[in-house]
Structure 1
Amino acid sequence: MVHVHDKIVAVCCGSGSQRLQWLGHVGIARYDASNEQGWMQFGRPVAIRNAKGDALAMTDIVCEVLVDKEHIYVDTSRTP
């Protein structure tokens, strides 16, 4: 579950071989559910944190640092 500002976005990661940066980009894009262009409003992911507020490396692999349905929080380059 990806938190982007005031919205929670579910993202299926398959085997989880992607980097956290990808997960941040997808969460931002899907913020705008109808056009998947949330990046126009929020820009790009600049940081990703877990539910405890700890920063995660953008280059970490999803399946190596997250468990299924874990919540992450994305900080964006633009604020609403």
Structure 2
Amino acid sequence: MVHTPLVGRIAADEHCEDELTLPELLVRRGQMFALTVSGDSMIKAHVMDGDTVAARVQPDAENGEIVAARRSQPQY
């Protein structure tokens, strides 16, 4: 057995609460989504509790990037 800290929550559903209008220069290309931050684990990146962050859907991340990750639905 491995002891693993449970450090927070992330929504398992994709219920759309609202819609944001973002400048095209910010979005550029790709599918975007937004999340409201809960907690202060990203405070060193100047992301505060209650902030709304925009993220791009992409298959991988580079070293140093901040990510919100989820596992794909299993293919049966």
TM-score (norm 1): 0.24
- Greater helix share, structure number: 1
For CA contacts below 8 A with separation 6 or more, give which structure has more relative contact order.
1
Q: Larger % of strand: which?
A: 1
What TM-score does the superposition give when structure 2 sets the normalisation length? 0.25
